[in-house]
Amino acid sequence: MKVKAWLSLGSNIDRERHLRAALGALSRQFGGLRSSSVYESRAVGFEGAPFLNMVVGIETDKSPDELKTLLRGIEVQEGRQREAGKFSARTLDIDLLTYGNQVIERHGKVLIPRDEITRYAFVLGPLAEVAGEERHPLFGTSYAELWAAQGPASNEMRRIELDLH
């Protein structure tokens, strides 16, 4: 049985090339993608070049762990260096935001849905754009409602017109 999953993509090193490569790899693996617009936002947690971010929806029969392994493989193909730490420049970052309506916990910590959905405008804004009527699995609130509640957070990013296909 296929499950809808939402992924967050970001890059601040050779940004367009790495996002384009990620979309190609995801399309080859999962077929049709549902993609948000691309947004530019400042680096969070460190001084660095601005990021390009977007959200992509896929349909998958892979388990969350299999999916995460596949996503890490795409990051590595694009030169991702994890040794640099969480808050550092990166060629490509792909995070599994949601997996159907499931809440997945390990060791008392919620892993899915990712907390970045409500913490960062560059995740919630694009997610609300493509899945506004869907509801956050923990809060039951639609992504559009969560985004509207963010208020001035949308000022932290700007939409970029890019053809990544």
Let me know if 93 is a catalytic residue: yes
Q: What's the pTM?
A: 0.91
Let me know if 114 is a catalytic residue: no
Catalytic residue among 15, 17, 65, 93: 93
* CB neighbours of residue 43 within 10 Å: 16
CA distance 111 to 98: 9
Q: What burial class does residue 142 get, using C-beta atoms within 10 Å of its C-beta: 0-12 exposed, 13-18 middle, 19+ buried? A: middle
Let me know if 163 is a catalytic residue: no
What is the number of domains present in the chain? 1
Inside any domain, residue 165? no
Give me the domain span that covers residue 57: 3-160
In one-letter notation, the amino acid at residue 45 is G
Catalytic residue among 34, 61, 72, 95: 95
Long-range contacts of the stretch 61-64 (C-beta < 8 A, 24+):
61/1, 61/2, 61/3, 64/96, 64/99, 64/102, 64/104, 64/111, 64/112
Q: pLDDT truncated to tens, each residue of the chain (165 aa)? A: 899 999 999 999 899 999 999 999 999 999 999 999 999 998 877 778 899 999 999 999 999 999 999 999 898 877 656 555 555 567 888 999 999 999 999 998 889 999 999 999 999 999 999 999 999 999 999 999 999 998 766 667 889 987 766
CATH number at residue 80: 3.30.70.560
Catalytic residue among 72, 90, 135, 159: 90
Catalytic residue among 80, 114, 115, 135: 80
pLDDT (0 to 100) of residue 108: 86
Nearest to 39 by CA among 79, 12, 74: 12
| DSSP string computed for 62-110 | S-HHHHHHHHHHHHHHTT--GGG-SSS--S-EEEEEEETT--EEETTEE
